[in-house]
Chain A
């Protein structure tokens, strides 16, 4: 069922090397934890300039399989450029994966992106003219890749065709700014399943449309699907499995949640992206302490 045509391969890099997002590659987990939204203690620490939780979150997520780390330092009313810059530097001190710089504020991006090593993913632009005009020149200047949220001046639509139209606007505007197709990753917008029963099916339909029509990678902020529901990790794991089947190759999610991590490793295996089951078996050995025949 996975679309036969392949999407462009997105390449990011960090001090430790490249990460590829694309078909036949392992699903790229973009670790979501470093984000003060709804995290009281992290918020207080960030305000005080204390980076201990940030660094602990970075280490734990990479250890749990995050290929990329999302960094968000937006606290309403606080100095985002300075805060985001400190977070970037603090994360580089402890891990070497590529970074996803989560801000739509030009000043914050101008301050923080130059401190990031390698090729980052900027999260995000929307299909609104003012967003595209303000942020795409920065994406180009920094040689970054960018996440495009599929909403435009008309607002947020549940209709897959309208989301496709917004995504097309982003890909075309990026091309006008000299940004290659492979450096655009579209986020079709995840709505809570608790608020609308067709939130997930509409999302999968949108993933297929965007891939098929635009040939770009698709990612999403996965955890929103289970907002307001009990036993969220089970929903997140099933959602990501289905999203991978629909052709999504990356997502911002929490690899520290074992069901999510297991579901994505199993998806890679089942979709033929884990040659000889190496990653699945490695995970088993790490969990159980069973030794490899190599000793």
Chain B
């Protein structure tokens, strides 16, 4: 099984769709723990890819292609994970995710969504280029524990603050935990705009989300 996990990681990094799907299928067929596949395999590969991206060793079309492979593999693992869930277990905390208005960058947000799902959260993804009104409506309807706001541009980062202000105006701020992320976002910024949490990467986002949800219960 370890060989298949290594093959899966390699396939994600070099964006080999056939190899990735074959490896993940073999793992699932042999009853590998889906959480193990995701946490020790897929998340590790995507984290490594992120590090390579930061070092300028991989380029945008390659990352986009890897994200496609990730999506396809995740589509195989996720149903297994969900099927294994104990139906009598207490309801999982719901996380809403959105890339804010004016911003089309969603690789990081999608990664965070996948990691949160594998870590036991229910995730509803509102997509990219999402305005405050849509977010507020979704919060009213779904009453999530957490709203995660992603922004990758210095021009769109201020919109995280706009959303928080609109949540306050709508009387919803105290009903939901707000987490922010994205390359230009800093812990100082998160604090300044009154967000509850900030994470630098997807695994950290899961960790912070767990802490925040635990603290609010």
Docked Cα-Cα span, A110 to B10, in Å, equals 54
B135 in the interface (beta carbon within 8 A): no
B104 in the interface (beta carbon within 8 A): yes
A 150-162 to B, binary, CB cutoff 8 A, 1 in contact else 0 = 0101011000000
Docked Cα-Cα span, A192 to B157, in Å, equals 19
Stretch touching chain B among A1-9, A61-69, A114-122, A224-232: A224-232
Among B56, B63, B104, B189, point to the contact of A77 (Cβ < 8 A): B189
A 177-205 to B, binary, CB cutoff 8 A, 1 in contact else 0 = 00000000000000110110000000000
B184 in the interface (beta carbon within 8 A): yes
Contacts of A31 in B (CB 8 A): none
A293 in the interface (beta carbon within 8 A): no
CB distance from B127 to the nearest CB of A (A): 10
Among A37, A75, A229, point to the contact of B60 (Cβ < 8 A): A229
CB pair B192 A74 closer than 8 Å? no
Say whether chain B's binding surface is mostly helix, strand, loop, or mixed. Answer: loop
| A198-241 interface with B by 8 A CB criterion | 227-230
Docked Cα-Cα span, A125 to B154, in Å, equals 16
Among A37, A77, A228, point to the contact of B59 (Cβ < 8 A): A228
| B124-161 interface with A by 8 A CB criterion | 129, 131, 153-155, 157-158
Among A75, A153, A228, point to the contact of B63 (Cβ < 8 A): A228
Contacts of A229 in B (CB 8 A): 59-61
CB distance from A159 to the nearest CB of B (A): 14
CB pair B60 A76 closer than 8 Å? no
CB distance from A48 to the nearest CB of B (A): 16
CB pair A195 B60 closer than 8 Å? yes
Contacts of A153 in B (CB 8 A): 131
CB pair B154 A37 closer than 8 Å? yes
Contacts of A104 in B (CB 8 A): 155
CB pair B60 A156 closer than 8 Å? no
Docked Cα-Cα span, A230 to B185, in Å, equals 25
Docked Cα-Cα span, A77 to B157, in Å, equals 10
Number of A-B contacts (CB under 8 A): 47
Docked Cα-Cα span, A192 to B60, in Å, equals 9
Interface residues on B, range: 20 to 34
| B113-129 interface with A by 8 A CB criterion | 129
CB distance from A234 to the nearest CB of B (A): 14
Instruction: Identify which of A76, A151, A227, A228 gathers the most chain B CB atoms within 10 Å of its CB.
Output: A76
A 76-94 to B, binary, CB cutoff 8 A, 1 in contact else 0 = 1100000000000000000
Docked Cα-Cα span, A227 to B192, in Å, equals 29
CB pair B189 A76 closer than 8 Å? yes
B 92-109 to A, binary, CB cutoff 8 A, 1 in contact else 0 = 000000000110100000
Closest to B154 in A: A37
CB distance from A261 to the nearest CB of B (A): 24
Docked Cα-Cα span, A65 to B193, in Å, equals 40
CB pair B59 A156 closer than 8 Å? no
Contacts of B154 in A (CB 8 A): 36-37, 74-76
Docked Cα-Cα span, A156 to B153, in Å, equals 14
CB distance from B194 to the nearest CB of A (A): 12
Contacts of B131 in A (CB 8 A): 153
Docked Cα-Cα span, A229 to B61, in Å, equals 8
Contacts of A37 in B (CB 8 A): 153-154, 184
CB distance from B183 to the nearest CB of A (A): 9
Instruction: Identify which of A77, A126, A194, A227 gathers the most chain B CB atoms within 10 Å of its CB.
Output: A77
CB pair A155 B101 closer than 8 Å? yes
Closest to B131 in A: A153
CB pair B129 A156 closer than 8 Å? yes
If A155-B129, A228-B63 touch, whether A77 touches B184 (CB-CB below 8 Å) is no
CB distance from B180 to the nearest CB of A (A): 11
B188 in the interface (beta carbon within 8 A): yes
| A123-172 interface with B by 8 A CB criterion | 126, 151, 153, 155-156
Docked Cα-Cα span, A155 to B60, in Å, equals 23
CB pair A76 B157 closer than 8 Å? yes
Closest to B53 in A: A228
A-B contact pairs, 29 of them (CB 8 A): A36-B154, A37-B153, A37-B184, A74-B154, A74-B155, A75-B154, A76-B154, A76-B184, A76-B185, A76-B189, A77-B188, A77-B189, A77-B192, A77-B193, A151-B102, A155-B101, A155-B102, A155-B129, A156-B104, A156-B129, A191-B104, A192-B60, A194-B61, A194-B64, A195-B64, A228-B63, A229-B60, A229-B61, A230-B56
Residues of B within 8 A of A (CB): 56, 59-61, 63-64, 101-102, 104, 129, 131, 153-155, 157-158, 184-186, 188-189, 192-193
Residues of A within 8 A of B (CB): 36-37, 74-77, 104, 126, 151, 153, 155-156, 191-192, 194-195, 227-230
